[in-house]
Amino acid sequence: MSKVASRIDAAFARAAAENRSALIPFIMGGDPDYATSLAVLNKLPAAGADIIELGVPFSDPMADGPIIQAAGLRARAAGATLARVLEQVREFRRANTSTPIILMGYGNPFFHYGMDRFAADASHAGVDGVIIVDVPPEEESGFAPALAAAGLHFVRLIAPPSLSTRLPALTRQASGYLYLVSVAGITGTASASAETIREYMQHIRRHTNLPVAVGFGIKTPADVRALNRHVDGIVVGSSIVSLMEHAAADHGNAALNLVQQMAAGLRE
């Protein structure tokens, strides 16, 4: 896992050396169409992205709010599939070999593709890790071994209700970093306070030294600044994705400008 580990580790190390959290924007693969999505993906590192989470569209996104659900529908209507998302990563890697890319999606598309085949193809494309939203530790045996064999990180979601009882199980196969869901709910909802996040972090640090990125409900540059330095990384999804609906018309400039504002806030 040395090749992919170095990209994620280096991203968090660079942010820590600058005394800030890493910025991790999320966009949906293929939204609003393949060409526009790829153009925005290619520009995210220059806008300030340290790590990129790239969504895999799915027909039943149970953890997502209406904004990301709509993005998945747009992408699917434009022909997005898991194979096309992998193609998008391959195109990205032609010019960028340093920014980590994490695929985020639901188990069904990966399982349907075939986990061994997916893991091999994803590794070859230049993917660094995978977040599978709806696969708990009790069901990871069909996923985790294939990812590990291909040198891909299994980035685990950690939700507040899990902090007291399930952290050992959730961190057992996790690698790369942990994704701390700030609130129990869907994407795009209100985020927990910085004080609450600090309390969550203290509890998590008793169980693992993996970097921790927090997401769900973080929408504005002010939200990002409030959490800066309290966590290793900050994930921003819905507020960026909401601007992608019209990205074909504005070349993604609104979404990229928001990422730039958030990145600047982390360096204040």
Residues involved in catalysis: 53, 64
Name residue, tokens 């590990």: 148
Q: Residue 85's CB: how many other CB atoms inside 10 A? A: 26
Dist CA 8 CA 211 (whole Å): 10
- Counting DSSP H helices and E strands in the chain, the numbers are 13, 9
Distances (CA, A) of 227 to 4, 159, 201: 27, 17, 12
Burial (Cβ within 10 Å: 0-12, 13-18, ≥19) of residue 89: buried
Which two three-digit tokens encode residue 55?
Answer: 């969504």
Distances (CA, A) of 15 to 73, 92, 159, 268: 34, 22, 24, 13
Degrees to nearest 5, angle at CA 189 with 184 and 193: 75
| Bridge-based pairing state of the strands 233-236 and 153-154 | unpaired
Name residue, tokens 């990180």: 153
